Amino acid sequence: MSKRIADALFEAAYLSLITLFIAFSVIPVLVALVLSFDARGFMGPFPPTQFSLRWYERFLADDYYHAGLATSLIVATVATLIATLAGTLAAIALSRATFRGRAALQAALLSPLVVPNVVLGFGMLVFAARLGIVDGMTRLIMGHVLITFPYVMRTTAASLVGIRASYYEAALSLGAQPWKALVQVTLPLARTGILAGATFGFVTSFDDVGVSLFLTDAFTYTLPVAILAQMRANLDLTIAALSVIFVVATVLLIVLLDRLAGLDAIVGRGVYGR
């Protein structure tokens, strides 16, 4: 086989894998978008023949989802605030630490990333019961701090790699108090990483199912848990409308993140970046 044909075949395979990737990521979202406007009251074949806003109206009128959304927002905000505060300080401390067991401590703090969420949720449920905590909100926040902390710490730690410790030391040698050097030198330099970490943490908490399923009670449940319960109970298309709202919110979040931090800054440009 000549080199030209082999190159053409390779190029075709390469481009079809990329097309497949995009199609696989985009088509389901488009299908949900179309279905959310379906006017039929039953699950009919695709595509729908008549369109309406009935599923959006139903979502807007449904208190069950509203309560879930409110809980999700409260839990995600509180958990992210706690995790960002503790996680940022820990990332800075660990980036400078030289003590023995530093790597082990870091691995332990990041370990919730590797342990299945179901295990964390179940463990937290049993732990909270032993402590006598039966309040859904308290349990949820405990569980969500546990899962958001590693995301915040890891993202912030990655952004600290590029910041030289000498800036902080220069501030100290010029007579700044350590806390002042931290607040005025290190934190502003790390703000992209902290912002990205907090965003990751918030999204992780807001999307979580595995931990929340164990920690909700009859009155306090998160939005994903509410959706899951509805999904298993009946197959109406309110969830398609909800999916579209989620997609729109995610797009807005990405645009905001790009404006505030720059997506390239989060992904990084690498050593040989153009």
Partner 1 sequence: MLWPALVIMAPLLLGPLLALLHESLKPYVGGRIGGDDAGALTLANYAEIAAPEYVRYFLDTFRVGLISSGLALVLGFPMAHFIVRRASPPVRRLLIGGLVGTLFLSLIVRVYAISMTFGPLGPLSGFSRLLGIASNSPDGAELMVVLGLMNTTLPLVALTLIGTLQNINPRLEEAAMSLGAPRWKTFFLVTVMMCLPGILSAGITAYAFCISNLVVPMLVGRGFILFVSNLIYARFSEVANFPGGAALSIAMMVISVGLFYGLLHLVRSTWQEAGK
CB of 214 to partner 1, least distance (A): 6
Q: Which of 61, 134, 170, 251 binds partner 1 (CB under 8 A)?
A: 251
Contacting partner 1 within 185-244 (CB under 8 A): 203, 206-207, 209-210, 213-214, 224, 227-228, 231, 239-240, 242-243
CB of 175 to partner 1, least distance (A): 20
Instruction: Find out whether 9 and 20 touch, Cβ atoms under 8 Å.
Output: no
88/252 Cα distance (integer angstroms): 25
- Does the footprint of partner 1 cover residue 14 (CB under 8 A)? yes
Question: With contacts defined by CB under 8 A, how many residues of the chain interact with partner 1?
Answer: 97
Q: Which of 130, 174, 219, 234 binds partner 1 (CB under 8 A)?
A: 130
Q: Which of 93, 134, 161, 256 binds partner 1 (CB under 8 A)?
A: 93
Which range in 54-62, 87-95, 163-171, 187-195 contacts partner 1 by CB under 8 A? 87-95
Q: Which of 75, 76, 124, 157 binds partner 1 (CB under 8 A)?
A: 124
Instruction: Find out whether 211 and 124 touch, Cβ atoms under 8 Å.
Output: yes
CB of 232 to partner 1, least distance (A): 8
